[in-house]
Amino acid sequence: MSGAFGGGSAFNRASPSSDQRCVARIVADYIEPVTARPRRVLDVGGTRGGFGSQAVLPAGTELVIANPEPDVGAHHAYVTDIPAAQPGFDFAMLFGVMMYLERDLLLKLMRDIRTRLRGKATLLVAEPDYEHGFGVAEKGAQKIRALIGGKTFTFHGSGDVRQMLRDAGFVVLRDRPDLRPTYSGSRVPRIPPYLIIAATV
C-alpha cells in the first residue's frame, strides 16, 4: 500500500487520542485485559505525540506505530512493512486515516490490519463524522474547496465503514461514542465529532 496519511491539528482535537480520559478508557477496555502474554498495540497513522504520549500503558506493552509521514516517530511506514516474523497484535487503532484513502485502499488496509491481529483482538476506528451535526457543513465546505483545487478528503459513511470492517473479517462491531473528547473547560473550534467503532475479530 502506498500513499500518505496523517491528520492536522484541527482533526486531532476531536480524536480519542487527544483526550486523556478517552485514552485511559481505551487502555482499560482493550489493553489491560490482555494478560496471557506481553501486550502488543498497533497504532496506524499515529505519531510520537499521539496516543502513546497520553497513555499509561501496562509494563511490557509494545506500541508499534505505522505511518508513512516523515518525522512523526513511526516504526514502519505501512502495516505491510512490519516483519511477518513479529508476533501479532492484541489491539489496533486507526484514527483519522480513513479520509485520506479511497475505498479500495481503505479496505485493503483494514484487511492488512486484520491479518496482524491475534486472538479476540479489536481494531478501534475513529474518523470525523460527516453525516451529522457540524460534519454536514464541513462536508459541504470540502466540496467547495475541491472546486477551487484545494485539498479534499474521501467521505466514508458509517454504513460503508461497517461493511468494509465486515468484509475485512471483523465479526462484532460496537459504536463507542463515549470515546469522543468532551472539550471540558477549553475553547475548541467547531469541528466534526468522530465516528468511533470497535471492531472485534
Taking only the tens place, the pLDDT of each residue in 4-36 is: 565 443 446 778 988 899 999 999 999 999 998
Q: Give the three cell numbers for residue 58.
A: 501496562
- Regarding predicted confidence, which is higher, 183 or 15? 15
- The DSSP code for 76 is B
Mean pLDDT of 39-54: 94
**Exposure class string for 174-201: b at 16+ Cβ within 10 A, else e:** eebeebbbeeeeeeeeebbbbbbbbbbe
**Mean pLDDT of the region 50-59:** 93
Whole-prediction pTM value?
Answer: 0.86
Tens of pLDDT, residue by residue over 75-111, are 999 999 999 999 999 999 999 899 889 999 999 999 9
CA distances from 57 to 53, 76, 111 (A): 10, 21, 26
pLDDT tops 50 at residue 66? yes
Q: Are 7 and 96 in contact (CB under 8 A)?
A: yes
According to DSSP H, which parts of 78-199 are helical?
103-115, 134-147, 158-167
* pLDDT given at position 149: 64
Predicted confidence (pLDDT) at residue 130 exceeds the cutoff of 60? yes
Give yes or no for a contact between 114 and 145, defined as CB atoms under 8 angstroms apart: no
> CA torsion 9→89→68→172, rounded to 10°?
-60
